[in-house]
Amino acid sequence: MKELLMYFNRFQALPPEAEKAITEICSMITIKRNEDLQSIGHTCLTIYFVKKGIARIYYYKDGIDITESFSPENTIIARVESLFTGTPSRKAIQIVEDAEIIAINATKLFQLYDTFPAIERLFRKIFESAYVETVNRIESIQFHSAEERYLALLQDTPNIIQRVPLKCIASYLGITQVSLSRIRANIK
């Protein structure tokens, strides 16, 4: 749980009672590669923190598996379009590499917002930061070529490329596996 509290502290300091309250609504999950942490059609009521391993959000578009995002160690993962709207998600969370996950009960968390303004503030900041990343990602998708995006990923998070199957990387970049192969061949 230490990692999670350190992660929180980078956004917002919490009084000890608030830390304790959060800790009490968390549970540890150990889960193996290729298993789904949450499945398609399920309404998201949990926010996950990846302590070890890698997770990804994916969904099916015309029968093809599309990766929306990766979450390596020390990151938060949640299907926000379901969490914030209360509607079922068309997306699933899958474990890409054997993982230890901390699950935060979002229903209880939102109740804590009333008791601990610092917790509401903490998660406001966490999701503001995620929002900014998403806005930047749009720019990257829309106005950089597939090769530029691959190189950027290589530079920003080289360990993801080494630890995740190429087909997931390809769909994350918005291209086919074939195109990614060509790009890789070109670079060398």
> Contact positions toward DNA, by CB under 7 A?
145-147, 165-167, 174-185
Q: Which partner in a second copy, DNA, none is near 150 (CB below 5 to 8 A by kind)?
A: none
Among candidate residues 82, 84, 81, 58, the one with its CA nearest the CA of residue 71: 58
Question: DSSP 3-state assignment of 2?
Answer: helix
Establish if 153 lies at the interface with a second copy (CB under 8 A): no
Contact letters for a second copy, residues 158-187 (x by CB under 8 A): ----------------x-------------
Continuous segment of H or E residues that includes residue 167: helix 166-173
* Residue 86 contact among DNA, a second copy, none, beta carbon within 5 to 8 Å by kind: none
x/- string (CB under 8 A) for a second copy, residues 83-112? -xx---------------------------
Q: Is 145 in the site for a second copy (CB under 8 A)?
A: no
Could you write out the DSSP letters of every residue in 44-111? P-EEEEEEEEEEEEEEEETTEEEEEEEE-TTEEE--HHHHTT-SPPS-EEEEEEEEEEEEEEHHHHHH
Structure tokens at 183: 């790009």
∠ Cα 166 169 171 (to 5°): 110
Q: Give CA angle at 79 (72, 137), nearest 5°.
A: 65
Q: How far is the CB of 140 from a second copy (least distance, A)?
A: 10
> Which among DNA, a second copy, none contacts residue 106 (Cβ within 5 to 8 A by kind)?
none
Among 120, 146, 153, 176, binds a second copy (CB under 8 A): 120
**Interface of this chain with a second copy, residues 34 to 63, rule: CB under 8 A:** 61
User: How far is C-alpha 166 from the geometric centre of its chain's CA atoms?
Assistant: 18
Applying CB under 8 A, the residues found at the interface with a second copy are 61, 66, 68, 80-81, 84-85, 113, 117, 120-121, 123-124, 127-132, 134-139, 141-143, 174
